Amino acid sequence: MRPPQGLGIGPPQLVMLARWPAPGRCKSRLVPGVGTGRAAAIQARLTRHGLAAAAEARRAMAAAGGDGRPGAGLRLVLATSGLGPGAAGRWGRRLGVDRVVDQGPGSLGLRMQRQMGRGWREGAAAVVLIGSDLPELAADDLLAAFRALEHHALVLGPAGDGGYWLIGRRRATPQVFSGIEWGSDRVLEQTLQLARKAGLSTALLAERHDLDRPADLDRWR
């Protein structure tokens, strides 16, 4: 089966954006409640959990067989922040990802757009981005995202705080990261507005909750 016109033909990419889990260098909003050491340990555990879900989703896709759909032959990419290329590569090998790249500087929107653009330049059939702070994440969530991209240009996973925990695209344009109030409770709303203006067919996944602040821990204790 040939991919729809305008799509890449290479393996799709699932990209996790993650900070190096070192005390004092990650989860700053969590630190006041738990301290730097525990915050870093939580970051490390959440990163492993997210990539385990991604690996499970990839195995399920491989078992189903590649048939040209977005999701077949999935590549796992870790986009890192907070450490150099050598250490990032070693971290990625320990975590079992296919590739490690640097997030680069700038706002969250700029860093996500950079990863989307890199994936499309490499010919990916679809690019899905997630963060590393999703204790609820399951392989089925990721499978649902790639299934949605068979019929929609954009997929979003709404977060309980008004943002989103996943974004997936299958076309390089138009832009959906500009003019967003990052960190506010309007991120999802503003992104949907941009998508509507651009005429992008959009699918919404189930709502999930990030683990960012001490109060968020109450849900998981």
Asked if pLDDT for residue 1 goes beyond 50, the answer is: no
pLDDT of res. 33: 56
pLDDT level of residue 36 (50, 70, 90 thresholds): confident
Asked if pLDDT for residue 8 goes beyond 90, the answer is: no
The sign of the dihedral angle between the CA atoms of 109, 142, 124, 170 is negative
Cα distances (Å, whole numbers) of residue 51 to 59, 103, 109, 137, 201: 12, 17, 22, 10, 28
For the chain, where are the E strands, in sequence order?
A: 13-19, 75-81, 99-102, 127-130, 154-158, 164-169, 202-204
Q: Model-level pTM?
A: 0.88
Asked if pLDDT for residue 73 goes beyond 90, the answer is: no
pLDDT of res. 219: 58
Amino acid identity at 8: G
What φ, ψ does residue 216 adopt, rounded to 5°? -65, -25
The domain locations on the chain are 13-219
Average pLDDT, the chain: 85
Asked if pLDDT for residue 112 goes beyond 90, the answer is: yes
Tell me whether residue 74 is exposed, middle or buried, using C-beta atoms within 10 angstroms of its C-beta: 0 to 12, 13 to 18, 19 or more.
buried
Name the CATH architecture for the domain at 13-219.
Answer: Alpha-Beta Complex (3.90)
The interaxial angle of helices 139-148 and 36-64, nearest 10 deg, is: 60
Cis before 4? omega within 30? no
pLDDT level of residue 63 (50, 70, 90 thresholds): confident
Amino acid identity at 62: A
Average pLDDT for 173-193: 91
Distance CA 216, CA 212 (A): 7
pLDDT of res. 47: 92
Sheet containing 164-169: which strands, arranged edge to edge? 99-102, 75-81, 13-19, 127-130, 164-169, 154-158, 202-204
> Are the beta carbons of 126 and 4 closer than 8 angstroms?
no
Q: Which of the two residues, 29 and 24, has the higher pLDDT score?
A: 29
Q: Which of the two residues, 161 and 211, has the higher pLDDT score?
A: 161
Asked if pLDDT for residue 194 goes beyond 90, the answer is: yes
Return the DSSP state at 85.
H
Asked if pLDDT for residue 146 goes beyond 90, the answer is: yes
Q: Encoding tokens for residue 168?
A: 């997936």
Q: Which of the two residues, 212 and 88, has the higher pLDDT score?
A: 88
Cis before 21? omega within 30? no
pLDDT level of residue 69 (50, 70, 90 thresholds): low
Q: Encoding tokens for residue 113?
A: 């757009």
Q: Which residue has the tokens 């967003």?
A: 180
pLDDT level of residue 220 (50, 70, 90 thresholds): low
Return the DSSP state at 2.
P
Average pLDDT for 153-172: 92
Chain centroid to CA 178 = 18
> Are the beta carbons of 97 and 76 closer than 8 angstroms?
yes
